[in-house]
Structure 1
Amino acid sequence: MPQRFFDAPAVRVWCGRALSALGRAREEIDAINVYPVADGDTGTNLYLTLESAAAAVEAVFSGHEAGHTGTAPSLAEAIRAMAHGALIGARGNSGTILAQLLRGMAQVLAAEERGERDTGGPGLRRALRHAADSARQAVAHPVEGTVLTVASAAADAAGRVEGGCDAVARAAYEGARTALAATPGQLPALERAGVVDAGGHGLVTVLGALVETLTGETAPALPAEAEVEHARVPEEAAEGADAGECPPGEGGPAFEVIYLLEAGEPAVARLRRRLDALGDSLVVVGGDGLWNVHVHVDDAGAAVEAGVEAGRPYRIRITHFGQGDAHTGGAGRPPRERVQRAVVAVVPGEGLAGLCAEAGATTVLARPGEPPASAELAEAVRRAHAREVVLLPNDAELRQTAAAAADQARQAGVRVALIPTRSAVQGIAALAVHEPGRRFDEDVVAMTSAAGATRYAEVTVAERQSWTTAGICQAGDVLGLVDGDVAVIGSDVAATARAVLDRMLAAGGELVTLVLGDDAPEDIADRLRTRVREAYLAVDTVVYRGGRQGSLLLIGVE
């Protein structure tokens, strides 16, 4: 039966149907993904984004049911949950824009309900208009022929009809379908490939689920132009491709950087300007202190550092586009093929995330007290887009989590080797000897040997009184841990670090790696480097900035 008003149960049904529809269309959408980056993951990113949105909506309903209130959530609660879930789970360029579209709808519909205004056709029309406009504003350099064009067309068509939600949804869907069919004529990359815009295809799929929810009828099929099976672009088209957002004649940025950011609007405005100067495909969505940042850059570390200056970035994901499948601005390239081998590394700070990404690894940031779940590691393996993956957990406590993620990836047909690195310095040592051109088993053996030959230590501050292997420590004491056990308890950071270093080098070594946290004393690297140079003549020292890694200092001795 047609539904003239939008309510919380409708949001729940819409989420479920949209998720199912994207699940069915995911491979087709991935296959036609040629803009802005031909990396064949738009359908998957949209699905994962909406999966997070649907989970958030279900949590709201479960909360009401557990409270035995006898009432369903309000429309505002449900639609805000949908938008928030999409924001925190947004993947890729397309998922980030979808999150902003849902946020725009939520802002209007929640306000309509609160003001006891019409949440029927007029409210849905206003919501679609605000969604399209806010998504366009979130993109640094909007391009026609993309999901933004499709969203605007949906809002335009919805604004021309009267009636309830059912009529508005039908009009929006028809406007979006028509706009989608026209996208090849607006973007040369799409025309050369003979496909419609992948993000726009995904949005039409989501709007089709809205039509089914509000009318009880199956949405009309997409136009024939959108029914493309695994499109492939002729080599001559790829060679003559436009550079899209990338400088003419050059390859595009090497990394995709995504993170959630807690920051105020003035800081985010400055962040937008800085990231816009660093790369392309910049999309910053969100508000009320929480943002999702997406950008393609060559300097992944600089993109993360910009986030640190703006506020608190977390859930940082850095993906290397890979040699041979490098991004070309999506200009007519076929969906990227899987690379043969990749490395996925868990890192404790932004500095190491940039360092490992520059070495070609896909990274997952593990904040103190916020270890990644197995699903997040499995998603990182998927993002690496490789047939073979070496997984570096870089934390003894993450070994079981990493093993579960590796099992998930193996079920998807990826060959995964888990190297049980217990510290980031062991991961650095493993990455240093990584050679993708070697046989997989040989590469894994070499990386495992390098990690195993690296002793690791950590200098940190005790948070509370406790028993340790070196005696009783008090809150505020400086602790030196060697291979995971407390070996030194002191009151001075430099003195404790020196004692730890001497203890480690007493057993020999050729290279000392120091990873400095943001709170480490300014001169500690120079003091330790001097100690090594004076007392251990044949030992070299390298220093890295780890960022907000939890520990004051990480030490590796090879």
Structure 2
Amino acid sequence: MKNEIMDGLMLKKAFVGGARLLESKKEEVNALNVFPVPDGDTGTNMSLTMKSAVKQISSLDAPTVGEVAVAASNGSLMGARGNSGVILSQLFRGFANSLKDKDKINTIDLAKAFKSASETAYKAVMKPTEGTILTVAKGCADYALELAEVENDIFVFLEKVINKGKEVLNKTPDMLPVLKQAGVVDAGGKGLIVVLTGALNAITGKEDIILDFPAKVDKPVEIFPRIDDENIKFGYCTEFMINTDFDDYEALRSELNSFGDSLLVVGGDGLIKVHVHTNNPGLVLERALEIGELNDIKIDNMRYQHRHIIEEEVSEKIEINNRNREMKKYAFITVSIGEGLNKVFKELNVDYIIPGGQTMNPSTEDILKAIDEVNGENIIILPNNSNIVLAADQAKELSDKKVYVFPTKTIPEGITALITFDPELDIEENLTNMEEAVTHVKTGMVTYAVRNTEIDNTKINKDDIIGLSNGEILAVGNSIDEVSLVLLQKVINDEYSLITVFYGNEIDDESAKKFAKRLEEEFENFDIEVVYGGQPLYYYIFSLE
């Protein structure tokens, strides 16, 4: 059946369909990340960004096309996570700018909106790289403009644009050698094609779409260290939502605390989210049923699956200093995860720590809330992760405070920047000094591979221990200590004299000290410092200065 017009309800359905399909295929998108490290989360970040967009449009009744597009743009803007999520939000922003005054649209309107989306996303990235989601978006947009001149059926139009996008996506390995070597297409580009495909399926009836898409937007905090199940005291990770008017969260938290540990109870607007590790999930659910209706129930047998889920931090932030203190000349916000690393940042007078990092990229809204909380004439954000910089930049643009994003890409860079900072100097001089200091610190990290791959002619098998520095895998093996040693041997030179070892939550004190002794023997002219970081996923983070 031919359809030449898209109205607001159809566009709303398209966004919901795109979000649903991406949610179901996010792991497929995640698997396309080139590096086989456990923080490859393009699909997860894009899915969470889509959920934020859909949450914003879910309350619209009989909306115009413009109202839907603007709501989706606003929702994705605040909920954007990771570089892929921020770029997706910028695509929606450009899309909305083109359609904001439209009641209904045809293929020509849609083509112009695609072009506006592509141009806006390109402008948002300082150094656009071809062979990425940007290229796929541009390919779709350019073709859409040509096609709209001869095709007025919305359904046929979208199908052909998507097919063109797939062609461009399949060429991304020819544009980025690292993709070709890994044998994958660009993950962000794939995610975009999934969104468009889900949108088309929804509006053509290939998939039944319920417009009250669950508005739950969680952080991607499930991290699965490999551990012995005997260490698990409470065997069932239990999560659910309660629809209720009950608002005494403290009382519920206190009561449920007796059922287990890793308890989280947060809520608002008639919803309470509960996360608890327990041996009696049935008792927890029975108590919750006394309060209201349950949905999104998820129970994982952690002993059976040999995993432990780190407690979710949905809206709670780690605040370090009293937020009611007098205005400071300088205030610092940093992103960090791990008890030990947080302690280090606290000692360096950071004002606000946003929980996050690998697999836990905070959203633009998370960062914006942190900006709102701190009291500083000049607010400096240290993302400490290359995948958080764009979200920090986006939060900066949305704030009316004087905010500076110092784009640290690793924890050691963040620590070095803070040590270098002198509160007696002006902001520009400090930023210059910090930039200079960061060039003299090198970071090494040791983790494990989550899949088989081949990079730089090196075969890597799932669960291999891998050592990385500056975006390169430099060591592969079966022993954490041996891989760590090889990594350090490859990155150390005469420029450095200090090695700081931050050991993670899977390394015990004795093992860390034993390894440090070995480093003292191997690098006898270096000072060796050992610090408990408590970070997940990465056994060791090394700072070389």
> TM class, shorter-chain normalised?
0.3 to 0.5
Q: Which has the higher contact order (CA 8 A, sep 6+)?
A: 2
Q: State TM-score, norm by structure 1.
A: 0.45
The structure number with the bigger radius of gyration is 1
Q: State TM-score, norm by structure 2.
A: 0.46
